[in-house]
Amino acid sequence: MTSVLTVSLPPAVVTALFWSAVAACVIAQLFILRAVFRTLPILPSSTQVPTPHRLTEILWVVLPVGGLIAVFIGAYRALPL
Amino acid sequence: MTGVALDPQKATPSLFRDLISLTKPRIISLLLVTTIAPMYAAGSPTLLSVLLVSLGGYLMAGGANAVNMYIDRDIDDVMARTRLRPIPSGRMSPIQVLAFGVACAIFATWLLAQFVNVLTAGLALAGFYFYVFIYTRWLKRSSPQNIVIGGAAGAFPPLVGWAAVTGTLDVTALCMFLIVFYWTPPHFWALALLKQVDYGRAKVPMAPLVWGERETMHQMVWYTVILIVLTLLPVLLGTFGTLYLLSALVLNALLMGGVLKVLFAARASKPWTGPAWWVYKYSLLHLALLFLAMAVDRALTR
């Protein structure tokens, strides 16, 4: 299951790329989470659409992080080092 | 004779055409790509197993779409793009549509469990329940996270395809699931940005209506960042090789370019609807070609 491309990469590079990927996802996820705190209070009360509940919104944003953690743990164990 | 030639098929759509339209065949074609490509990425499936999984997958997703139309029959009537569906146009009764959707799901479950494996059937059925109850029934009308969490329903097909061949799931399958999951927000929010009036009229709290256009565009960028990382992760694991890597880099660069173009156009107070349409349409191609690249890459390196 290992490709020629990955085998040719030194383990230190693979590790560095992996942690860079983790860092990119953490930063992006923090910005996604920030929107829940930043935008809900400014929702106009006159809006036609229902007002989302803040705690539930936080839950919905945090939930996919579990999937990301699972895939990164699985990926770390499977890294061809 | 009045001299006006009516196309009988267009004037009175047949029951068969209505049943097909209930399944939303254009959407399912992409779901089938994300089901079949993982099958070839996971191993060497027989043509019969591909056909069975495709049929089962079509019926399950089609059933979910039909039940979705049953539940959403009230808002389909007030949205321009859904007004001509069989229920709001009066061509089919709600109970007929519900029965058709449930029957499709039951038959698909039996087909997949009997001729593929129980895990595949269970995953497909989980996708059905997720779409009907978590997305349509619960989140669609209550949260701007509706298509984010609801997007998980559309992310089941890669798991279904992978499980059909391997009988199990691993980190690559989970990665494919998350690729579709994180692809969904930039794809759907591009459409939501364009159809805000429709969604507002139907009181569906899509992100642009709740957060505003600019914040939605920022969110599209962040979801695309995670999507790009996830598409490259399998290369790091050695699952896919050079062909897939090059394809992913090009496809991702175009998608990120499009998403940033929407944001920068809005920031500069320039028209952004053109770029948003482009992102919506291109993202469909992006996902299809990405999964095709997975299958072709594995076929070439096997």
Which one is predicted more confidently, B208 or A40?
B208
Nearest alpha-carbon partner for B258 in B284, B239, B232, B234: B284
The pTM assigned to this predicted structure is 0.91
Residue environment code for B257-286, b if the CB has 16+ CB neighbours within 10 A, otherwise e: ebbbbbbebbeeeeebeebbbbbbebbbeb
Cα gap B7→B2, rounded to integer Å: 14
Q: Are B176 and B162 in contact (CB under 8 A)?
A: yes
For chain B positions 44-73, those within 8 Å of chain A (CB to CB) are: none
Q: Mind listing the pLDDT tens digit for each residue in B228-241?
A: 999 999 999 999 99
Which residue in chain A has the smallest CA separation from B230? A21
pLDDT reported for residue B7: 45
Question: Which residues from B are below 8 Å from A38, CB to CB?
Answer: 215
CB atoms A75 and B175 under 8 Å: yes
Which residue among B143, B182, B229 places its CB closest to the CB of A57?
B143
pLDDT reported for residue B84: 85
From the CA of A47, how many Å to the nearest CA of chain B? 8
Residue B2 has pLDDT above 50, yes or no: no
Cα gap B147→B91, rounded to integer Å: 29
The alpha-helical segments, DSSP class H, found in B238-272 are 242-267
Question: Which residues from B are below 8 Å from A56, CB to CB?
Answer: 143
CB atoms B225 and A67 under 8 Å: no
Q: Mind listing the pLDDT tens digit for each residue in B147-189?
A: 999 989 999 999 999 999 999 999 999 999 999 999 999 999 9
From the CA of B65, how many Å to the nearest CA of chain A? 23
CB atoms B143 and A56 under 8 Å: yes
pLDDT reported for residue B39: 97
pLDDT reported for residue B33: 97
Question: Which residues from B are below 8 Å from A4, CB to CB?
Answer: 241-242, 301
Q: Mind listing the pLDDT tens digit for each residue in B248-265?
A: 999 999 999 999 999 999
Size of interface A-B (CB pairs under 8 A): 132
Angle at B169 between CA B166 and CA B174, to 5 degrees: 130
Q: Which two tokens stand for residue A6?
A: 């990955």
Q: Are B224 and B186 in contact (CB under 8 A)?
A: yes
Question: Which residues from A are below 8 Å from B213, CB to CB?
Answer: none
Which residue among B178, B209, B219 places its CB closest to the CB of A67?
B178
Question: Which residues from A are below 8 Å from B245, CB to CB?
Answer: 5
